Structures are given as structure tokens and as C-alpha cells.
């Protein structure tokens, strides 16, 4: 009986492992870090897209475009002798290469645009107004009162329609000047088609302000009222302020000192690694309290101090005020 009692109370050994212990070991050895992405709110950042403006500057541009939309609604309504609303559809940033290059396989889907450049003088245009063909026909129809002209949306504008489109685009440019105190914009040249009539470097960053003009009671969801302003981002600094601090505001020494002070205050996690051991899964399962685990270092060998997975210091174990400590013996 005594032998049987001793056998029943003996600790679990090889081949006699409880299900709870296996579950614990699997949780330790084979588990993966839980995906917590649903708990983290992070905005996607596309490095292929320009980010010339800060969030604060984009807010200023948004306020500027809303005021401009109100002025455009007044100008367009007065010109067409009706009531029209102007809505800002989007304000987006682009590299010039994206707009200058059109893939050949999209030739059938390419939309013809009518352009009118504008600026404070004729020598250097500030930007342009881009008007797709469908919108151009719709706008000129509003002036002519010919509702049947919109049926053929792929046709070319007549000389009369181009003249009317020039008047409309000029009115929109005038509306832009209303809330831009730095310049009094004027049309530069005439209505053109084809390539963008701006001299641009392919890496130059542009701001595209798309707007939609419709009657208040219009239920149409088509594209016949959309057009856009295309302006080099650097030109809008007069609206949002300079995006780059003056070169002489901070010297290189001041910047280096500020960065160094910031780095000095950055917290760093240091791990003291005594040693390690390699076991089979069977050996790991059979470990019990009071068992002795031999590590891969001699007592005389130093322990490692690790930062971000890299050993940076060596030392020997010690204690101080009842806590584990390390006495530094050498640096890398």
C-alpha cells in the first residue's frame, strides 16, 4: 500500500504529462503575438504621393477654397442670369509627372480639357483653370440657352463657344483673386487644348482644387459641372504661409545641438542577459521545481547588456539595495 501511495503522489515524469501543462507550454513556446491592429488607429502614409502641405496648411487652403466657391457662385450666377451653387469637391496634391504623362492604353478614355492660364502678369503664369469638354459644353449652353447642344458631349467647341468659355473662365479667375490679397489675377492668352500650358518639372508638386457648379435644384449626379484650378504648391505659400523656415533662422550648430539634446533625453531599454540554454521539448516538459538547469556560460564569464538586440556592454552580476545590479566591466 505504501508503495502504491508513493507512486500516486510522485511528480509527473516522461510520458505522464497533464493536459494543462501541455497547454501552458504551447502558450509559451508556440504562441504568436496577438494582432492588435484593430486597436490602433493609424493613418496610411503613401510615400509616392506629395505631402507639400501640413495638416494646418491644408485647413487654411480649405477655408480659402470655401470663400472662393462663394465668390465663384456669385460670378457664375451673374454671368448666366440664374442661381447657381459652387461646391468644392476635393483638394488634392500631385506630382507634375502624374498629370503630364497619360498612359497610351487609356487613349479611348482620355478626356479632352480646355485650359486657361492666369497670373499677375503675362511673363509667369500663376496656375490654370482646367475645364473638361462635357463641362465646357454645359456651361456655354447655359449662356446660349440651347439645351439641345448638350446631347453631343464629344464634339468640339465652336469659336463662339470658345469665346463664351473664355468669359466664364475669366470670371472664375476673378473670383479667385477676390480672396487672394497678394495678386490681382488676369487671364493669360486664350483658351487652349491638348497638353498642360504650364512649364513644369516632372517632380514639381501641384495642388488641384476641383469644384462643381450646379443649380440649387439640380438632382444630376454627372460630371457636367466639374472643373478645377491647378496651381504649383509653392505658389500657394502666399495663402498658407511659407512651408520652410528661413535658412538664417537657425544655424546648423543650433539644429545639431537641439537634436543631440533630444537624443540624450530619449529613454532606452537595456536588458541584462545572464546566459542561455538549449533544451529539447521533452526536456522542457520534464522540468520540475528544484531541478538544476545548466547554462552555456562559465561563472567567470561576463553577462551581456543588450540594447535593441545588440550587445553594447559587458559586466558582472551584483546587488544593490536589495535589487539585482550589474557592474560594468567593458564596453564594445
List per-block mean pLDDT (blocks of 10 residues) for the chain, which spans 332 residues.
45 55 58 51 65 87 93 93 93 90 51 89 85 92 69 77 94 86 82 90 92 84 85 86 51 76 84 91 90 90 90 91 91 80
Continuous segment of H or E residues that includes residue 58: helix 55-80
Who contacts 71 (Cβ-Cβ below 8 Å, separation ≥6)?
A: 175, 176, 178, 179
265: three-class secondary structure by DSSP: coil
Domains of the chain, start order: 55-240 (3.40.1550.10), 267-332 (2.30.330.10)
Of 325, 332, 326, the C-alpha closest to 311 is 332
193: three-class secondary structure by DSSP: strand
Who contacts 140 (Cβ-Cβ below 8 Å, separation ≥6)?
A: 149, 157, 161, 164, 165, 168
Helix/strand number for the chain, H first, E second: 9, 10
C-alpha cell recorded at residue 312? 553594447
Q: By the 8 A CB rule, do 231 and 209 touch?
A: yes
Which pLDDT does position 245 carry in this prediction?
A: 42
* CA–CA dist 129, 125 (Å, integer): 11
Which pLDDT does position 259 carry in this prediction?
A: 80
Which pLDDT does position 181 carry in this prediction?
A: 65
Which pLDDT does position 130 carry in this prediction?
A: 96
Amino acid at each position: 500500500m505504501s508503495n502504491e501511495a508513493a507512486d500516486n503522489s510522485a511528480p509527473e515524469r516522461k510520458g505522464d504529462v497533464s493536459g494543462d501543462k501541455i497547454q501552458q507550454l504551447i502558450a509559451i513556446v508556440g504562441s504568436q503575438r496577438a494582432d492588435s491592429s484593430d486597436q490602433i488607429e493609424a493613418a496610411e502614409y503613401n510615400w509616392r504621393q506629395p505631402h507639400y502641405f501640413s495638416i494646418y496648411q491644408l485647413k487654411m487652403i480649405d477655408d480659402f477654397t470655401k470663400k472662393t466657391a462663394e465668390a465663384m457662385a456669385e460670378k457664375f450666377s451673374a454671368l448666366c442670369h440664374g442661381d447657381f451653387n459652387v461646391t468644392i469637391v476635393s483638394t488634392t496634391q500631385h506630382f507634375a509627372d502624374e498629370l503630364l504623362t497619360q498612359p497610351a492604353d487609356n487613349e479611348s478614355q482620355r478626356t479632352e480639357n480646355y485650359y486657361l492660364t492666369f497670373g499677375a502678369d503675362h511673363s509667369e503664369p500663376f496656375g490654370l483653370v482646367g475645364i473638361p469638354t462635357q463641362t465646357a459644353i454645359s456651361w456655354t449652353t447655359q449662356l446660349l440657352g440651347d439645351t439641345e447642344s448638350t446631347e453631343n458631349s464629344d464634339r468640339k467647341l465652336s469659336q463662339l463657344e470658345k469665346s463664351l468659355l473664355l468669359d466664364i473662365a475669366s470670371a472664375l479667375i476673378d473670383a479667385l483673386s477676390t480672396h487672394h490679397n497678394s495678386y490681382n489675377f488676369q487671364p493669360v492668352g486664350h483658351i487652349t487644348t491638348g497638353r498642360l500650358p504650364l512649364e513644369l518639372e516632372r517632380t514639381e508638386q501641384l495642388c488641384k482644387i476641383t469644384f462643381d457648379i450646379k443649380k440649387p435644384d439640380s438632382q444630376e449626379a454627372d460630371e457636367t459641372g466639374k472643373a478645377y484650378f491647378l496651381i504649383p504648391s509653392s505658389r500657394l505659400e502666399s495663402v498658407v504661409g511659407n512651408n520652410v523656415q528661413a535658412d538664417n533662422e537657425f544655424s546648423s550648430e543650433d539644429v545639431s545641438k537641439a537634436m543631440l539634446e533630444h537624443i540624450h533625453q530619449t529613454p532606452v531599454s537595456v536588458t541584462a542577459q545572464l546566459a542561455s540554454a538549449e533544451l529539447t521539448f521533452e526536456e522542457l516538459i520534464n522540468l520540475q521545481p528544484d531541478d538544476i538547469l545548466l547554462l552555456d556560460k562559465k561563472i567567470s564569464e561576463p553577462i551581456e547588456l543588450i540594447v535593441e538586440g545588440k550587445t553594447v556592454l559587458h559586466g558582472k552580476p551584483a546587488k544593490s539595495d536589495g535589487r539585482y545590479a550589474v557592474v560594468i566591466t567593458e564596453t564594445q
